[in-house]
Amino acid sequence: MTRLTSPTQTEKPMLTSYTRFQQEFATGLASAIEAAYSESIDDASLYSDTHVAALIERPRKAQFGDLAFPLFPYVKLVKEAPPVVFEKIFAKLYLPDDLGEVTFAGGYLNLTLNTTRLAKALAAEILPAPDQFGSSSFGAGKRMLVEFSSPNIAKPFGIGHLRTTVIGASLNRIFAFLGYETVSINYLGDWGTQFGKMIVAYQKWDGEKELAENAIKGALSLYVRFHEEEKNDPTLSEAARLAFKKLEDGDPEMTELWEMFKTVSWKEFERVYNVLGIKFDLITGESFFNDKMDEAISRLEKAGLTSESRGAEVVDLGEFNLPPCLLRKQDGATLYATRDIAGLMYRWDTYRFCESLYIVGSAQADHFKQVFKVLELLEDAEGAAPDERMTGKVKHIPFGWVKFEDQALKTRAGHVIYLDDVLQKAISLAESKIRDKNAELADLSNVAKQIGVGAIVFSQLSVRRQKDVNFTWEGALNYEGETGPYLQYTHARLSSLLRRYHSQSDEQSVPNYNELDYTVINDTNTHQLMATIARFPATVENAAKEYEPFLISSYLLELTALFNSFYQRRDENGKIVKILSDNKALTDSLMSIVIMTRATIATGLHLLGLEAPEEM
């Protein structure tokens, strides 16, 4: 189980600096609205602190400020023009002197935070423990199950499994960072009629020889051949069914072959997970629930939820506009849904989770609707108490398809792009680029691995998970523009700047943040950079609420772009303002912002599953 250490309340303010600014702004606004319009607005909740705070948002353009309050809801209520509403509220608005400057633009009352106060608040929040910035104890005492990756035994670990793997791993890290006790689960596809097909193919076409050189590619070759031969030889289908029936009945020969397929498959899977830097707390498979399905079905029968349909046992879900959930076929065989139902019962009894997430493709949406509805009906029928119910706690987190060059990937047709091949090619390309530009780089091979793997992972997380991804070599391995390597390069650049700062100073860290003079900072670039850093904790929380790592990846791209503007900012004469200069007060203050930026990027990269190289 994964739990990243979170700071205690004595080590870190309970509220982030950004949240405190929002609250002060909201409190002042609520009082001003009440003073200006209490006679016109009967509903007092409309000028409560809570209501006003919920309306505060980020301005659409940076030049409008850091926080924005929309006046439109009140314009409609009092039937006055936006400028008039602004003036009346502004006349009654009292904010702390050092909070910032209020302006009006486009129907919004905007606040630009005081740069000095913003810098001091961030320094106090981040510098004592930079690697903990953005973490919280929100999830303390709560257990979160995250099931992801789940490749099929005896089949390739293809590029099609990349999205579930990296999305799930990222969500697991995010929830752990927010204080949850997470349980990462790899639920292997290790049961079903496909194993009857694999056994028949292995026995019929010299499987030992096929698997000798490369077990997984050999297994795929057998699997593809079976489906090709099956088209002209229908007896193969019956042979596969009988082989799987023997396996279900515990036949020693079938079981030995099945165990062999599992062993060689996991060896290959584990190698890929090691490259990606992913570990699991629980590795199980469908077969684990074979002896638990009878009990699960018995509970459904006792609750009066099952019925017969064409000789099969089902739960009728017609009144919910869902197909019947098939529990047992006519021949008594159970199905994937049966195992998922039994699995959820087992997980609930074992873990008593606050949520159980299934990171599975959108194509399985109806399957999960059926399974979750069956469990909801069972809990209703059994009269489960609110704290004893899974309903609402089990969630399908869907994502779009992965295509290759606009083509769907089909294992049966042998159209598979091996994930390991993709990763190795990315690492090789990264190493080649490094040798061209920085052949003397220490630990070059390891850095190449960090960059290559980062490029592939980020190619998936830089797109909203519900969108389809068309994997192309050119796009995934592009190191220019908005990519993982671009973020990693920025981190390395910040690290280099920090080494130079330390080399010219007796200090090996920034002076105590209480001693820093932030009044020397007054430029727009630096202000926008700090305001964006301040939004990081909220970004992490939103990524958790929406189960969307993309929010962190897009945030990091914005942050790095702002840092590069900050790094290259110019004075009124057009000269670049150097961060390291003879002005010690200015240098120390600017370097504290460099440290804060570097820490935020490093943490964001970690939450996405990317390494943060010190040099590139």
Q: CA torsion sign, 284 to 288 to 289 to 295?
A: negative
Q: Counting every residue, how long is the chain?
A: 616
What's residue 123's pLDDT? Answer: 94
> Mean pLDDT in the chain?
90
Residue where a domain terminates, one of 113, 132, 150: 113
Report residue 384 as tokens.
Answer: 């489960």
Query: Would you say residue 526 lies in a domain?
Result: yes
What's residue 347's pLDDT? Answer: 97
Query: Would you say residue 411 lies in a domain?
Result: no
Query: Would you say residue 566 lies in a domain?
Result: yes
CB 532 within 8 A of CB 559: yes
Per DSSP, helices labelled H in 462-509 are 473-476, 484-503
Q: What is the CATH number of the domain that holds 75?
A: 3.30.1360.70
Query: Would you say residue 516 lies in a domain?
Result: yes
Q: Which residues of the chain have pLDDT under 70?
A: 1-15, 404-415, 476-477, 505-511
Tokens 């009044």 identify what position?
A: 519
Residue where a domain terminates, one of 113, 148, 182: 113
Residue where a domain terminates, one of 84, 113, 142: 113
CB 610 within 8 A of CB 496: no
What's the rounded Cα separation, in Å, for the pair 607 and 605?
5
What's the rounded Cα separation, in Å, for the pair 215 and 157?
12
CB 278 within 8 A of CB 168: no
Q: CA torsion sign, 490 to 495 to 498 to 499?
A: negative
**240 contacts: CB under 8 Å, gap ≥ 6:** 193, 196, 197, 199, 200, 226
Half-sphere exposure of 176 (CA within 13 A, CB side): 21
Q: How many CB atoms lie within 10 A of CB 330?
A: 11
Report residue 594 as tokens.
Answer: 């460099």
What's the rounded Cα separation, in Å, for the pair 268 and 262?
10
DSSP 8-state secondary structure symbol assigned to residue 410: B
What's residue 511's pLDDT? Answer: 64
Three-class DSSP category at 188: strand
What's residue 5's pLDDT? Answer: 34
Three-class DSSP category at 209: helix
Dihedrals φ, ψ of 545, to 5°?
A: -60, -40
Report residue 14 as tokens.
Answer: 């309970």
Query: Would you say residue 254 lies in a domain?
Result: no
| Domain limits for position 75 | 17-113
Read off the pTM.
Answer: 0.92
What's residue 162's pLDDT? Answer: 93
Query: Would you say residue 264 lies in a domain?
Result: no
Query: Would you say residue 206 lies in a domain?
Result: no
**135 contacts: CB under 8 Å, gap ≥ 6:** 4, 6, 7, 177, 178, 179
CB 570 within 8 A of CB 576: yes
Q: What is the CATH number of the domain that holds 543?
A: 1.10.730.10
What's residue 507's pLDDT? Answer: 58
Report residue 311 as tokens.
Answer: 């000789």
> Across-strand partners of 469?
402
Name the amino acid, one letter, at 423.
L
Query: Would you say residue 501 lies in a domain?
Result: yes
Q: How many CB atoms lie within 10 A of CB 320?
A: 12
Three-class DSSP category at 271: helix
Q: How many CB atoms lie within 10 A of CB 14?
A: 9
| Number of domains the chain is built from | 2
For residue 367, the surrounding DSSP H or E stretch is: helix 365-382
Q: How many CB atoms lie within 10 A of CB 259?
A: 11
DSSP 8-state secondary structure symbol assigned to residue 588: H
